[in-house]
Structure 1
Amino acid sequence: MIKMLSIGNSFSCDALAYFGDMAKNANIEVEVWHLEIGGCSFERHYNNMCADMCTYNFSVNGEARPMARLSDVVEKEKFDIVTIQQVSHSSGLYSTYHPYIDEFVDYIRKYQKEAKLWLHKTWAYEKNSSHSGFVNYGKNQMVMYEAICNIYEKIAKEINADGIIPSGDVIQALRGKPEFSYPNEPSLCRDGFHMHFLYGRYAVAATWFETLLHGDIRKVDFLPPTEIVGELYEGELKRIEIIKDTVHSICTK
């Protein structure tokens, strides 16, 4: 069994929404622990670490547990994989990482010496997003995406991460497909920045599945439950197949 910890925010919630279901469908046994706070930056993670704050929403395999501290999980459990990420609006701003990420990573590695540390590369906002942080990139999707690419590559080297989960690359590649050419076709976001409950969350979960579990998403027949995404018809199923092919292509480069 693979035991995984994700320390994140609402974007890791998007990533993990269908991740466990995909693993189960592929007969891969994985236990997913998740500590998150909406809008949480590396600076806030660092401050929570220093003050041992009990402020994290905590779940195991999607089942909610009581609020937790970092120390409750990082110092008392052993994981094979740990994922971390910057808050989305600061992901392409180098000055927001240091010194916080350095101390935070040192803390994780002190207690998780055997774990692989992965940096989750998040996505640029939708081109008409109203998120206040979009102004950091001139409200330009490609400027934001390129900034995230540059900074994540740099940070990954500086902290000696074991790898980058390329969610942002997958989302941007899909935006270039006719089937996701917003606004004429569906957006991969549900509100301009969080992932669409069907397409966006499926794409990001599939990216984690291929990157972290080395699975082949093309062989997975899991579909999100109808009570969340509604009935899926030919057009929706075609888009899911496009997502699968795009994820597999990017994750196996």
Structure 2
Amino acid sequence: MKFTPIRYILLICLLLTFSSNGFAVQGRFSVSKHDTLKIFIIGNSFSGNATTYLPQLAKEGGHIIKFGRAELGGCSLKQHWDGVVAAEANADDVKGKMYKGKSMKELLAADKWDIVTIQQYSRLSSSVATYEPYISNLYEFIKKQQPKARIVLHETWAYRRDAKQWGLITEKEEAANDEQMHEKLKANYLTFAGKLHTGIIPTGEAFWIMRNNRSWAYQPVSEAVVKAVVYPAVPPQPYSLNMGYYWLPDKTLKFDPNHANVAGCYLGSLVWYHYLFGGRLKKVKYKPAEVSDEFATQLKKAATSAFKVSGF
């Protein structure tokens, strides 16, 4: 088609019309800023971590979001699917009402969702054998309940470099380290995203980018340093994205190399925000008070770079 001056003018007017109505241009979802993006999350504590600050980021960006959640700590794809099976067999079976007395079917039926996310339990995320048939079953179940919803996989992250255990790669074998855990889980998410024709929210990739940033990566400390710590001090863990060391009220020193801390939750939320709404993250102003301006800048760069990695 030949573009005459008149056609150019009409095209510009059309683009301006979409812009003035607040339609997202760079994000994955073309919803008006005056409409609500409805997100249903099937996951566990890691999905809760990764969306902690998404409401604040969305508010700053002028977006309205609503969450539905089918989350249980440490819940695997198999456990989620077993709950569905129990509820379908007997709607009154407590095994099917695993989400605060509700079944997944009931929670999904509460609204018309724009996006539904699925993820594997982190300990099993690096084991390809643990995904099927549960991920495909969940996909088909969601499509039946919410045929217009877009289903997306949420890639979780490898444990901190000084973890005492890693994700399983077979029924009895653990990954050797954080690198192998990351490589395996990444490959699994890419495999099933390809099989099911879904997108991926690459939170785990952003974590890995930060972990390999020489200037801003957490560096493990020796056991001697840990043993020398006296309450209320904790071993130094600058730039950590995971909880790491912390004290319980009874003054017991605990270690959690798996779950995200404030910085990790912020990084995850940046990735989710960028996936949903696009835009330039470096323009984002909101950050938790615990995260320095300089560190926040690096986290925004990592979140943006995660989408440039092959496969995402």
Q: Same fold (TM over 0.5)?
A: yes
Aligned equivalents of 1:247 and 1:133: distance in 2? 23
Given that 2:239 and 2:295 are in contact with CA atoms closer than 8 Å, whether structure 1 keeps it comes out as no
1:169 and 2:205 correspond: yes
**Aligned position for 1:47:** 82
Aligned equivalents of 1:250 and 1:173: distance in 2? 7
Aligned equivalents of 1:192 and 1:186: distance in 2? 13
Given that 1:41 and 1:87 are in contact with CA atoms closer than 8 Å, whether structure 2 keeps it comes out as yes
**Aligned position for 2:93:** none
**Aligned position for 1:194:** 259
Aligned equivalents of 1:133 and 1:243: distance in 2? 24
**Aligned position for 1:63:** none
1:118 and 2:152 correspond: yes
Whose helix proportion is higher, 1 or 2?
Answer: 1
Q: Which amino acid aligns with 2:124?
A: S
TM-superposed deviation, 1:132: 6.6
**Aligned position for 1:64:** none
SS in 1 for 2:286: coil
Deviations 1:147-170 (A, max 9, x none): 011111111112221x00000110
Q: Which of 264, 269, 272 is the aligned partner of 1:205?
A: 269
Gaps of 5+ in 1: 58-66
SS in 2 for 1:192: strand
Mapping of 1:71-220 within 5 angstroms? Answer: 71-131=105-165, 133=167, 136-161=173-198, 163-177=199-213, 178-183=215-220, 185-190=238-243, 191-197=256-262, 199-220=263-284
Aligned equivalents of 2:308 and 2:63: distance in 1? 19
Aligned equivalents of 1:136 and 1:182: distance in 2? 26
Q: Which of 220, 223, 244 is the aligned partner of 2:287?
A: 223
TM-superposed deviation, 1:221: 1.1
SS in 2 for 1:24: helix
Q: Which has the larger radius of gyration?
A: 2
**Aligned position for 1:24:** 59
Q: Which amino acid aligns with 2:103?
A: R
TM-superposed deviation, 1:131: 4.4
SS in 2 for 1:11: helix
Q: How many residues align?
A: 234
Aligned equivalents of 1:173 and 1:137: distance in 2? 22
**Aligned position for 2:20:** none
TM-superposed deviation, 1:136: 4.2
Question: Cα RMSD between the aligned structures?
Answer: 1.8
Q: Which amino acid aligns with 2:260?
A: M
Aligned equivalents of 1:132 and 1:147: distance in 2? 11
Given that 1:2 and 1:29 are in contact with CA atoms closer than 8 Å, whether structure 2 keeps it comes out as yes
Aligned equivalents of 1:74 and 1:174: distance in 2? 35
1:35 and 2:70 correspond: yes
Q: Which amino acid aligns with 2:296?
A: I
Given that 1:137 and 1:143 are in contact with CA atoms closer than 8 Å, whether structure 2 keeps it comes out as no
Given that 1:131 and 1:193 are in contact with CA atoms closer than 8 Å, whether structure 2 keeps it comes out as no
TM-score scaled by structure 1? 0.86
Aligned equivalents of 2:295 and 2:137: distance in 1? 41
Q: 1:78 to 1:242 in 2, by over 3 A?
A: same
Aligned equivalents of 1:79 and 1:126: distance in 2? 34
Q: Which amino acid aligns with 2:277?
A: L
**Aligned position for 2:224:** none
SS in 2 for 1:158: helix
Gaps of 5+ in 2: 1-35, 88-95, 222-237, 244-255
SS in 1 for 2:68: strand
**Aligned position for 1:60:** none
Q: Which amino acid aligns with 2:271?
A: T
Deviations 1:170-224 (A, max 9, x none): 0000011111232274321112010012x10110110000012224322221122
